[in-house]
Amino acid sequence: MQPKPTLLKILDIVSIIVLAISTYLALFFAPTEQVMGQVQRVFYFHIGTAWVGLLGFVLAAVSGIVYLVTKDMKWDRFELALVEVSAMFFFLTIVLGSIWARPAWNTWWTWDPRLTTAAVTELIYIAYFMLRQGIEDPEKRARFGAVYTLLGGISAPITFMVIRLFRSIHPVVVGAANANQDKLSMTPDMKTAFFFALFAFTIIFVDFVWHRVRLGALEEKVEQLKLKVSM
């Protein structure tokens, strides 16, 4: 068994600390939003998870390209780790958005452009795991994964941009919908909680991806040993 690197141990502890601080800032530090009330506090986690989710899908596409160029399996492991962790965080984004929508829009779900593209993105990556599992040959599987994440990666910028391109009930948080609006319509305390949540989820994301990459290396070792033993 490979010992856990010291840096990863430190990252584990830092992740727990930043998550605790981010929760404190969201629950107690940030002021209560006047129109939506307490539920608005989930917004900090909603944005944090959305940021790492979409970032991971884009990085997985980049990782896929690097694999196709180098044919080095470590990029396939990295890509798989990115997709798995991002899919988990993006699932959380959708669930938190739905919880927020219920009191704000009086519905759990609506087929708004943002919600639709987000759901499609998540489904694309759920299908990725199902299709990947069906391929026995590791090289074929890696090649398929690389091409799939490359094409699937397009859905991430589309999801981000859709509320800026089409009429949507989903609020535009980052970047004003028009030139007369503030870039971030939040109080200074809200901005602190917001930016810290982005930072915290980035740290947690790196930690989870690192753990998943190590797991991927172990999976590869088991596959190789199975081949060796069966021969």
Partner 1 sequence: MDTPDTSTYMIAGFVISFVTMGIYVLSLYIRNRNLNQDVETLESLDEKPSKK
Q: Tell me the one-letter amino acid at 52.
A: V
99 lies in the site for partner 1, by CB under 8 A: yes
180 lies in the site for partner 1, by CB under 8 A: no
Euclidean distance between the first and the last CA atom of the chain, given in angstroms as a whole number: 24
41 lies in the site for partner 1, by CB under 8 A: yes
Query: Around Cβ 41, how many Cβ atoms within 10 Å?
Result: 22
Do 107 and 170 contact (CB within 8 A), yes or no? no
Token pair for 18: 């930043």
Nearer to partner 1 by Cβ, of 15 and 159: the residue is: 15
42 lies in the site for partner 1, by CB under 8 A: yes
Token pair for 166: 């089409």
Interacting span for partner 1 (CB under 8 A) from 111-119, 121-129, 173-181, 213-221: 213-221
Shortest Å distance, C-beta 69 to partner 1: 29
d(CA 163, CA 146): 28
Shortest Å distance, C-beta 1 to partner 1: 5
> 76 to 95, contacts with partner 1 by CB under 8 A?
85, 88, 91-92, 95
